[in-house]
Chains A and B, each alone.
Chain A
Amino acid sequence: MIKTLSVLFHNGRQFIPDVINASLKPPFRGRPIITNVKIDEKKAVELCPVGAISRNPFSIDLGKCVFCGECSIEFPEKIIFTQDYKLATNIRERLIIKEGEDIPITIDKSQIRPDIKKICKKSLKLREISAAGDNSAEWEMNASNNVQFDISRYGIEFVASPRHADGILITGPISQNMAKAVEICYDATPEPQIIILAGTDAISGGIFNGSRAICRDFIKNNHVDLYIPGNPPHPLTIINGLLNLID
């Protein structure tokens, strides 16, 4: 008993009081800014391991980016990673960061399905599906619910059965071998059947894009309600993204 009290005393309070305004320090790589500095753009496109960089206009697609940071090491004046971790949005195009822009990534409230607005007020239950996820995004999903980030204090929970869920959250690029399980799980979820993709692998396939073992049909055939970029997404990115969806 005394030992337990001593442990409690030493550990004190651990939760982060304000997950909306918490700050991260460099070299954490959040939303990048692309300046108007002239560089050898072709070289930058060549360099990127996942084809996230495009030209005309020069841009980075955060749905593809694995946040390796190599482009900003090579072109430090052109590409600067800020520590802005609020990267989640419901509009795929908003993940494309263009040259000369410094606009926060936000959710377009008008595009949230009315069902979600109606049913998920201050509560969101999700069934997480790891579909060939490499246990990194899954890891951060679990971390979001530890005593520090404590996502359940906002009424957000990962549940065991799809029947108890408002929707699914997919991590991983979706292997052929998981494609069927994803469909079955989704079908078992009641309305509003939210679909959330967390992590670069889920959003675009990431480094596995083009692999013969991957099957992206589910993503092509269904409407995605929220994209949470990151490799893996930081717990603060996850929490803020989910909160903004139901807020």
Chain B
Amino acid sequence: MKKKSENLIRTHNCSVIKIKEIPIVDYETFFNLNCNLIQSPERHLSHYFAIEEGKALRIFSIISDDKSREIFVSSTEIDKKKEIPSLTNKFPSFHPFERDIYERFNLKYSDHPWLKPLRYPFYSQEKSMDNYPFFSFDSEELHEVGVGPIHAGVIEPGHFRFICHGEKVLHLEIQLGYQHRGVEELFVKKEKLLERVILSESIAGDTTIGHSTAFANLYERLCGFNTTEDLHFSRALALELERIAIHTGDLSALSGDVAYQLGQAVFGRLRTPIINFTQSWGGNRLGRGLIRPGKINFPFTEELKQSLTDILIEYERDFVEMAETFFLRPSVQARFEKTGTITKDDVFKMGFVGMVAKSCGINRDVRFTHPHGLYKAIKLQPTILQSGDVHARAYLRYQEVLRSIEFIREILQTIPSKISKKDLSDAPLESQSLAISLTEGWRGEICHVALTDKNGKIAAYRIKDPSIHNWFALALAVRNNEISDFPLCNKSFNLSYCGHDL
């Protein structure tokens, strides 16, 4: 699979490559190479980061081709003190990643249009969050509205600054970083496997399965362990259960935002049997404890299969009835349709992933485009909608839940009998390597990357939650909408603060 051609390496999802095989080209070549790669509509940026190598910085770019299923890895080395042109200036999808490099290493980009702090990490020069350079506009007609970091509801913190003309939002800027916990550094510092597993479960609690699966898949590759059928099975099942649960909860919250109480109550209560099932499987409603590299502590049994089959029958009946009623209500349609619209063009330009892309007619879903494990064998129907508005993102959830149920029913037919119990805690890791793993969490593409040193120790760990791409989608979506529609737009994306801030 790994062909060395041009100035890059071609690889695929869940793979390990030797770092020395990745060509190092000069920045200009790297710049042009990445411009060429990212131009085609079937490709998107999966990750882009730098690591320190003495006085130099080595930048890695990981671009995924959703058609050929290839992943292109390229790299360059630059002097930290040098000022360099930014890719963001040509392709804005690079913006959070270049901001991250700027914040981490103080690397100056000569023409980055939005070179602002990203997450105020403890290692940045910027110590106070009070001086964020918000875009502002001097006008007597416009006013600014600031919200957060603490919001009215029980949600995570972040600051939103609106520029409005009357009720109309002209611009929204989102300042994040309040949730920064130093996760990536802890992945390096905490050397016990179990510590890292717990960390992966805590990157974003609502995506416990998504992130712990990305980590487990990656770690197994680094150990040279071939993921067994039962592990693939439990990961795919847990991922789809997580998707069903969160999508259902989101439909409840969306109902609440348009004051449709019945929907709020019914969708809210429908999430419970799903997460309670997850608890009956692994002891925790979010699936903590379920995903472990090399092993499973809670094997899936015939009894669990029976119980899940019954739960899904009842769930589906009530869910479909509620959803059909919900989406036909004129008051719901009036609030959802043409609100918070994102265009296909925005998706290509900004590199949005997951639900945002799928609601704009673009099939950007790792389960189909870079399948791993059970997703390779079992054909799942992608759900693609066109209108890009709140309605599309809500309806997408409804449809995805149904697809997930179908998928679960299919995989339940053959429960793997073997139970993996491989203890990988002392297994040596491939040295001087770079491992990549992509997983489709319910929000979209999760990407974990690990780099090991010559002793096989993890030297750098980089995590990408889909939110890092998609927060900008929220900022774009509310433009020219009423400020009173902001909560609705926000919920229709339901992005992660801690996944972004790490």
A→B interface (CB under 8 Å): 3-4, 6-8, 10-11, 14, 24-29, 47, 49-50, 66-70, 73, 81, 127-143, 146-148, 158, 160-161, 172-173, 175-178, 180-181, 185, 201, 206-208, 211-214, 231-232, 234
Contact = CB atoms under 8 A, between A and B. Distances in A.
Contacts of B152: 160-161
A134 B183 CA distance: 11
B154 A234 contact: no
B179 A175 contact: yes
A128 B155 CA distance: 8
Contacts of A185: 150
Contacts of A70: 194, 297
Contact of B122 (A7, A128, A139, A212): A212
B297 A178 contact: no
B283 A26 contact: yes
B181 interface: yes
Interface stretch (B39-47, B54-62, B95-103, B318-326): B318-326
Contacts of B284: 28-29, 67, 231
Interface stretch (B69-77, B263-271, B347-355, B367-375): B263-271
A69 B297 CA distance: 9
Interface stretch (B204-212, B233-241, B331-339): B204-212
B328 to A, nearest CB: 8
A177 B179 contact: yes
Contacts of A129: 150, 157
Contacts of B214: none
Given A28-B279, A130-B155, A135 B178 contact: no
Contact of B181 (A143, A147, A214): A214
B294 interface: no
Contacts of A50: 195, 198
A141 B179 CA distance: 18
B177 A177 contact: yes
A123 B285 CA distance: 28
B280 interface: yes
B463 interface: no
Interface in B176-235: 177-182, 185-186, 190, 192, 194-195, 197-199, 202-206, 208
6 contacts: A3-B321, A67-B284, A81-B283, A172-B179, A185-B150, A207-B195
A172 B285 CA distance: 18
A232 B286 CA distance: 9
Interface in B484-498: 496-498
B194 A47 contact: yes
B293 interface: no
B156 interface: yes
Interface residues of B, number: 63
A10 B498 contact: no
Contacts of B269: 11, 14, 146-148
B488 to A, nearest CB: 17
A139 B194 contact: no
Contact of B178 (A14, A28, A178, A214): A178
B114 interface: no
Contacts of B204: 134-135
Given A47-B194, A135-B204, A181-B157, 9 more contacts: A3-B328, A10-B317, A11-B266, A11-B269, A27-B283, A70-B194, A132-B181, A172-B179, A185-B150
A244 B82 CA distance: 61
B153 interface: yes
A27 B282 contact: yes
A234 B285 CA distance: 8
A161 B151 CA distance: 9
Contacts of A139: 205-206, 286
Interface in B56-111: none
B149 interface: yes
Contacts of B149: 178, 181
B180 A4 contact: no
B272 interface: yes
B120, B154, B199, B318 — most chain A CB neighbours (10 Å): B154
B182 A214 contact: yes
B137 to A, nearest CB: 26
A211 B198 contact: no
A4 B325 contact: yes
A133 B262 contact: no
Residue among A4, A132, A135, A212 with max Cβ neighbours from chain B (10 Å): A135
Contacts of A135: 155-156, 204-206, 496-498
B419 to A, nearest CB: 13
B340 interface: no
A136 B179 contact: no
B298 interface: yes
A10 B182 contact: no
Give the one of B199, B268, B281 with max A CB within 10 A: B268
B313 interface: no
A48 to B, nearest CB: 8
Nearest to B252: A146
